Structure 1
Amino acid sequence: MEIPVFTLDSFTNLPFKGNPAAVCPLVHELNDDLYQKIAAEMNLSETAFIITINPADTFTTGSRFCLRWFTPTTEVNLCGHATLASAAVLFQYKKNVNPTLVFETRSGDLAVTRKKDGYIMDFPLNPPTKEDPADFKDIIKAAVGNLPVQGVFLSTNMKKLMIRLSDSCDRSVLTGLKVDPVALLSIETNGKVKGIIVTMKGSPECQPGYDFYSRYFAPWAGIPEDPVTGSAHTVLGSYWSKELGKKKMLAYQCSSRGGELELEVRDDGRINIAGEVVTVLQGTIRL
């Protein structure tokens, strides 16, 4: 069996920046064990599998596809950068003729539309609730040490804990943060938290005018740090939109690779997440 595979860097216009995802377009479904083995072999934060739904459709003509995402250790419910990469494969390499593609996923239907530079994803919004820092003191300590914390919030359905650093902190503090994934795993074992977002207010007065910064850590999903995380911005976008009084925002995830996301919080309870994509590899998996 031969399976085509692409590796693309999402939320960037430069190779080796942004967040790499592997994408495999499939005419027929595989068994779950094989999906997981391929994702472990690719060893990226996510490998996406695009499957045709209607037997009459091709990757060129179809407008609806099934989409599944696997980390090296588990299947996940929502992934932004691999959705962006999947759309790019269909539009760029399969020459899909439709202006918008819809992916059927564990998080419902996700639409991706091509624009002049990159693609726009239509994602659910996941507003977090304010929490008492005392309830999470050990995990906060493991994540940010003694840095001043302005607020702690939890998205219960996404199982993402968001820690906002004080406005007194410089961006370099977030960029230089060293988080021990083993320590996080040993502290949080009850399944309430599956990812840690650390965020801070941006510098909109400085070009290019980022409204907020973040980093994301998910060792529970086999990802010590995710370089640029679309799903985390369904939480971040909701929070910062209310905090800043803005619908449209520009965000930067300041991992070592770094990536830029254009956000628009909509009135219908969803969020547009836009970004660019660069291809770095095209090949074949032989089994």
Structure 2
Amino acid sequence: MQISIFTVDAFTDQPFSGNPAAVCLLEDELEEGWHQKIATEMNLSETAFIRKLHPTDDFTRKNVNSTLTFVTLSGELNARQAGDHIILDLPLYPTYPQDFQEVEKLVKATVGDMNVQDVRYSPDTKKLLVCLSDAYGRSDLEKIQVNAQELLLAEKTGKVQGLIVTLKGDFHGKHESYDFYSRYFAPWVGILEDPVTGSAHTVLSSYWSQQLGKKEMCAFQCSTRGGKLKILLRPDGRVDVSGQTVIVLKGFLTI
């Protein structure tokens, strides 16, 4: 069997940046266990499998009004195209003030002695949000070096499964203008740092919308690869997170 396969860099307009994912187009059902085997072979943080719901469906037909539904470990994820952007329809998760003393070791293991102005927790996602002082800039966030073992030793309760470090944007710097910056670490689930994280922005969008009083925002995730995200808080309490994509590889997988 030959399967059409692509490597797509998401949340970027440049190859070899953003969040890389493998996408497989399935004409037929795979045998049990093959999905995981293919994902392991591709060795990327995400591997998506798209199959036809009806025999007459055409993978090559472009329809900007169509929606793809992905079944993930976090539930169904709907994606649609709008111009040169792909929009993800995501839930919006609130954050709550966190007692700093309870997470002080974890925060210091992440950002050292940097001045922290806010610490929030999202019980729905088990993510801790650490907001740095406005005195810092994007370059300060990018310089943070995190050791996975130190984070694991600082948090063993299972309460935190992902840690977001974020910072208010700078509209007067040498880079493009963004409302906020972030980095995301999750060694508790085997990921030291994720390049670009849609799920983290379900938390970040809620937090920064309150802080900035805005429903539409632009964000940048400051990983080594980097990623640009557009955010729109909707009246129904959900959030649209969108970005551009670049196909960097296409071919066939033979099994």
TM-score of the aligned structures, taking structure 1 as reference length: 0.81
1:25-44 superposed matches below 5 A = 25-26=25-26, 27-31=28-32, 33-44=33-44
- Structure 2 counterpart of 1:122, from 79, 89, 111: 89
2:8 equivalent in structure 1 = 8
Indicate how the Cα distance of structure 1 residues 115 and 142 shifts in structure 2: closer, same or farther if over 3 A, else same. same
- Structure 2 counterpart of 1:142, from 109, 125, 144: 109
Check the 8 A contact 1:29/1:51 in 2, yes or no: no
- TM-superposed CA distance for 1:29, in Å, is 4.4
2:195 equivalent in structure 1 = 227
- Structure 1 counterpart of 2:128, from 161, 168, 191: 161
- TM-superposed CA distance for 1:55, in Å, is 4.3
Indicate how the Cα distance of structure 1 residues 16 and 236 shifts in structure 2: closer, same or farther if over 3 A, else same. same
Check the 8 A contact 2:178/2:219 in 1, yes or no: yes
1:284 equivalent in structure 2 = 252
Check the 8 A contact 2:116/2:130 in 1, yes or no: yes
* Structure 2: distance between partners of 1:2 and 1:194: 37
The answer for unaligned runs of 5 or more in structure 2 is none
Q: Say what the alpha-carbon RMSD is for the aligned residues.
A: 1.9
1:83-102 superposed matches below 5 A = 94-97=60-63, 99-102=65-68
2:217 equivalent in structure 1 = 249
The C-alpha deviation readout for 1:177-221, integer Å capped at 9, x for no partner, is: 111112222333332211111100001345632000001112222
Q: Aligned pair count?
A: 252
Q: Secondary structure at the match of 1:28?
A: coil
TM-score of the aligned structures, taking structure 2 as reference length: 0.91
* Structure 1: distance between partners of 2:159 and 2:51: 31
Report runs of 4+ in structure 1 exceeding 4 Å deviation.
106-109
Aligned amino acid, residue 9 of structure 2 = D
* Structure 1: distance between partners of 2:12 and 2:56: 31
Taking only the aligned residue pairs, the percentage that are identical comes to 48
Q: Secondary structure at the match of 1:138?
A: helix
2:69 equivalent in structure 1 = 103
* Structure 1: distance between partners of 2:245 and 2:24: 16
The answer for unaligned runs of 5 or more in structure 1 is 61-89
